[in-house]
Amino acid sequence: MLETDEKIAGADLIAGIFLVIFGFLVIITSLNMKVYKTFLDAPGFFPFILGIIFLILGSIMIVTSLKRRGYEQIKVLVKNFKITNIRQSVQFRRVIILISLMVVYIFGLIGRINFALATFLYLFFTLYYLKSARMIKIIIISFIASWAISAFFTGFFKVPLP
Amino acid sequence: MFESFLQQVDLFFTAFNQQLYFSNIVILAFATLLGIMVGAIPGLTATMALALLINLSYGMELNLAITFLLGVYVGAIMGGCYSAIMINIPGTPAAAATALDGFPLAKRGEGGLAIGTGVIASFFGMLISIACLIFITPFIYKIALKFGQWEYFLLALFGVMICGNLSTGKDPIKGWVVGFIGFFTAMIGLDKVYAYPRFTFGLLQLKGGISLIPALIGVFGISEILIVLEKEVPYQILGKITRIIPSWKDILSLLPISIRSGIIGVGIGAVPGAGEDVAAWVAYDVGKRSSKQGEKFGTGCLEGVAAAETANNACIGGAMIPLLTLAVPGSPPAAMFLAAIWLHGIQPGPMLPIEHPGFLYEVAIALILATFFILVWGLILAKPMATILKLRREILMPIILPLTVIGAYASGVRIFDVKVTFFFGILGYILRKLEYPMAPLVLGIILGPLADISFRQALMQSRGSLIPLLQRPLGLILLAAIILIAYSGIKRTVQYTKEHLQIDISK
């Protein structure tokens, strides 16, 4: 079983590789930007420098994570990888479901239905999933919170709601 | 010189009179109370609170907005000590060091005394930092007036690099990566010089760039919600709160460590992006080494509480110094305050004393009054706070999400900004799980435009030559500092790698 530090070395190796690729893409994109007078004051100049910095930092991360056995750790993780392990991981499942609820709220409900109603639905299902309280209490909290937030921000702060 | 001094005194008393309006006092009382409650509840942080409140302050008059936001800021930093002491979970990162001695004190029935010490230490730290703010800032303005394009570019680079260095424990490379990602984020949108679209990929919404406030709300709001809710962490509030106010003998014995911690707090606060948590840890560490009771630190020592709490609040005034003089925030909550005053059309920097002569004193007076409010509220709330801490995070944290949506939407009245907030929230969560710090990301987004324009203009003026930089003493000092930071950061990374190699060999 890998310790947290070791797992981080594997993650750093992957991050380093992504950073190097990202740096290359930034350099190529910035070199294709229009040059008005000279390259030194062109829109692509500073992003070009940033791309080089990403290449350098990514390379350092790859080297240091390889020295910390990052590659071996990735091999161990891939070898022991099982979908059932992930599905059984309570924390991972919890985060995925919470993010999914946020996605439905922000991308599916906000701007399409009334804000207070969207918020009530989001709070109801999230509090229900988290088993935050008994059902009656969840309904009351969701209703009061969504109504109070909408009324307070429109009435007192005069802030537009989506 | 005497006339200039009289002018400053006149500005001070004008600002003082303005702050004494009844509406200001009421807003400040409410704001510090709100801040203390936000700071006390684990999962709600000062940075998150300010990020959510920025857009709401837009409808207020400038004076009221400053008062409101600073009241929340000061209250939230002090408020973190309650939960750190009572349940061993810091209410804000700034109170992490407080828990080391605060919680053991609570376990032996002296939680009230620990809270009282924390509140008084916070009060004292604020007074030290406000004094430094008032007396040091005018000197920094004079230095900042000499800044040219090279200096501004190097300042932006210095800010991101030192923030990256200080905000990561083991591997500064990660802090720098995140800082430069912040720089890159600031590049997205229309170029400020030629209005050329950069990294927009044809998307109309991206031509306006990534708005600062939605990105901040995502990084400090949504990612925090996920971090708090990913695990169920039940906690128990220990013991009853009995005696709160320490004796005069205790207060006087804590004075030397408090003065030292206050100065450390101001110093760390003045370093871009370092923040209140770094200030608290450094002061705690220094306090432990220099105290006669150093071996008792971590076992329930009032000096430990005093060191951490003085420093984290002293950091606030320190963070205002680079913010007001150079538009470089000294801490993440200060970055939120900077975004807020930008919204009100205030441009911090060397021209601030000319464009808004009394602004420094308005900030200072608001901080002074907030300091007295945290003393009063802090001691009054010690006993009732246990009830507030019983609020379940599984109920509170989901309610924060709609507030982040409103906060993001209110900035540009665009649904796109809400989606940007969500994206940065997920990015922030992933980066935090991989042990990347967030402060450099924020600083990078704020300082990116400054770095970009200054660098290009400096090179244009010198026709691509670096020789003019070598003729500028301030620029050379900043360059030397950057080289030193880069060297020490790479050295720490190499050391960290070697330590791991040795562990593997020994296994």
Flag if A158 and B231 touch (Cβ within 8 Å).
no
Of A1, A44, A29, A74, nearest in space to B201 by CA: A29
Tens of pLDDT, residue by residue over B27-55, are 999 999 999 988 888 878 888 888 888 87
Same domain, A92 and A77: no
Flag if A111 and B415 touch (Cβ within 8 Å).
yes
Among the three residues A54, A81, A108, which one is the final residue of a domain in this structure? A81
Q: Which domain holds residue B172?
A: 15-506
Same domain, A11 and A77: yes
* Residue A162, in any domain of the structure: no
Are B482 and B158 spatial neighbours (Cβ–Cβ below 8 Å)?
A: yes
- B231 contacts in chain A (CB < 8 Å): 91, 94
Predicted confidence (pLDDT) at residue B372 exceeds the cutoff of 90: yes
- A18 contacts in chain B (CB < 8 Å): none
Tens of pLDDT, residue by residue over B66-88, are 999 999 999 999 999 998 898 88
In whole angstroms, what is the distance from residue B437 CA to residue B175 CA? Answer: 6
- B494 contacts in chain A (CB < 8 Å): 64
Are B133 and B321 spatial neighbours (Cβ–Cβ below 8 Å)?
A: yes
In whole angstroms, what is the distance from residue A72 CA to residue B169 CA? Answer: 24
* Residue B2, in any domain of the structure: no
Predicted confidence (pLDDT) at residue B238 exceeds the cutoff of 70: no
- B404 contacts in chain A (CB < 8 Å): none
Are B306 and B257 spatial neighbours (Cβ–Cβ below 8 Å)?
A: yes
Q: What is the mean pLDDT of chain B?
A: 87
* Residue B490, in any domain of the structure: yes
Same domain, A63 and A102: no
Chain A interface mutation, best of B187, B405, B414, B432, highest count of A Cβ atoms under 10 Å: B405
Confidence class for position B418, pLDDT limits 50, 70, 90: very high
In whole angstroms, what is the distance from residue A12 CA to residue B421 CA? Answer: 25
User: CA distances (Å), B200 to each of B206, B210, B334, B420, in order?
Assistant: 5, 10, 29, 14
Q: Which domain holds residue A109?
A: 88-156
Q: For residue A33, which phi and psi values (nearest 5 degrees)?
A: -75, 155
Strand extents, DSSP E, B311-433: none
Mean pLDDT calculated for residue range B205-232: 87
Same domain, A57 and A112: no
Q: Which two tokens stand for residue B243?
A: 């005696």
Find the helix or strand (DSSP H, E) in which B190 lies.
strand B189-190
Which residues are within 8 A (CB) of B309 and not within 5 positions of it... i.e. 6 or more apart? B78, B81, B95, B98, B117, B118, B119, B121, B122, B125, B280
* Residue A151, in any domain of the structure: yes
CA–CA min distance B223, chain A (Å)? 10
Number of domains in chain B: 1
Question: Which pLDDT value is given to residue B484?
Answer: 93
Predicted confidence (pLDDT) at residue B100 exceeds the cutoff of 80: yes
Same domain, A41 and A109: no
Chain A interface mutation, best of B390, B395, B435, highest count of A Cβ atoms under 10 Å: B395
Question: Which pLDDT value is given to residue B482?
Answer: 93
Number of domains in chain A: 2
Provide the whole-model pTM. 0.85
Q: Which two tokens stand for residue A4?
A: 């947290």
Predicted confidence (pLDDT) at residue B96 exceeds the cutoff of 70: yes
Flag if B401 and A91 touch (Cβ within 8 Å).
no
In whole angstroms, what is the distance from residue A16 CA to residue B174 CA? Answer: 10
Same domain, A111 and A55: no
- Name the more confident of B304 and A67: B304
User: CA distances (Å), A37 to each of A30, A40, A153, B127, B189, in order?
Assistant: 15, 8, 49, 53, 20
* Residue A161, in any domain of the structure: no
- B399 contacts in chain A (CB < 8 Å): 123, 145, 149
* Residue B260, in any domain of the structure: yes
Q: For residue B147, which phi and psi values (nearest 5 degrees)?
A: -70, 135
Question: Which pLDDT value is given to residue A2?
Answer: 47
Spacing of C-alpha B133 from chain mean position: 15
Question: Which pLDDT value is given to residue B98?
Answer: 92
Question: Which pLDDT value is given to residue B504?
Answer: 55
Flag if B401 and A132 touch (Cβ within 8 Å).
no
Beta bridge partners of A110: A113
Predicted confidence (pLDDT) at residue B350 exceeds the cutoff of 70: yes
Among the three residues A81, A100, A126, which one is the final residue of a domain in this structure? A81
Question: Which pLDDT value is given to residue B29?
Answer: 93
Confidence class for position A85, pLDDT limits 50, 70, 90: low
- Name the more confident of B499 and B474: B474
* Residue B272, in any domain of the structure: yes
Predicted confidence (pLDDT) at residue B112 exceeds the cutoff of 60: yes
* Residue B482, in any domain of the structure: yes
Beta bridge partners of B197: B190
Q: Which two tokens stand for residue B139?
A: 């000197």
In whole angstroms, what is the distance from residue B486 CA to residue B488 CA? Answer: 6
In whole angstroms, what is the distance from residue B318 CA to residue B130 CA? Answer: 8
Same domain, A94 and A72: no
Same domain, A45 and A97: no
CA–CA min distance B101, chain A (Å)? 27
DSSP string, A76-144: HHHHT--HHHHHH-HHHHHHHHHHHHHHIIIIIIBTTB-HHHHHHHHHHHHHHHHT-S-HHHHHHHHHH
Place of tokens 């300082």: B447
ipTM of the complex: 0.90
- Name the more confident of A160 and A61: A61
Same domain, A29 and A76: yes
A140–B contact, CB cutoff 8 A: no
Among the three residues A33, A51, A81, which one is the final residue of a domain in this structure? A81
- A159 contacts in chain B (CB < 8 Å): 55-56, 59, 406, 410
Please give the torsion angle defined by the CA atoms of residues B329, B343, B430 and B282, in that order, rounded to the nearest 10 degrees.
20
Predicted confidence (pLDDT) at residue B216 exceeds the cutoff of 50: yes
B499–A contact, CB cutoff 8 A: no
Same domain, A117 and A67: no
* Residue B6, in any domain of the structure: no
Beta bridge partners of B151: none
Amino acid at B350: P
* Residue B401, in any domain of the structure: yes
Q: B451-465: b or e for each residue (b if 16 or more CB lie within 10 Å)?
A: bbbbbbbbbeeeeee
CA–CA min distance B465, chain A (Å)? 11
Share of chain B above pLDDT 90, in %: 38
Flag if B497 and A12 touch (Cβ within 8 Å).
no
**CA-based Rg of chain A, rounded to a whole angstrom?**
24
Same domain, A101 and A66: no
Same domain, A9 and A73: yes
Q: Which of B392, B413, B455 is facing A46, going by the closest CB pair?
A: B455
- B394 contacts in chain A (CB < 8 Å): 127, 130-132
Chain A interface mutation, best of B496, B497, B499, highest count of A Cβ atoms under 10 Å: B497
A159–B contact, CB cutoff 8 A: yes
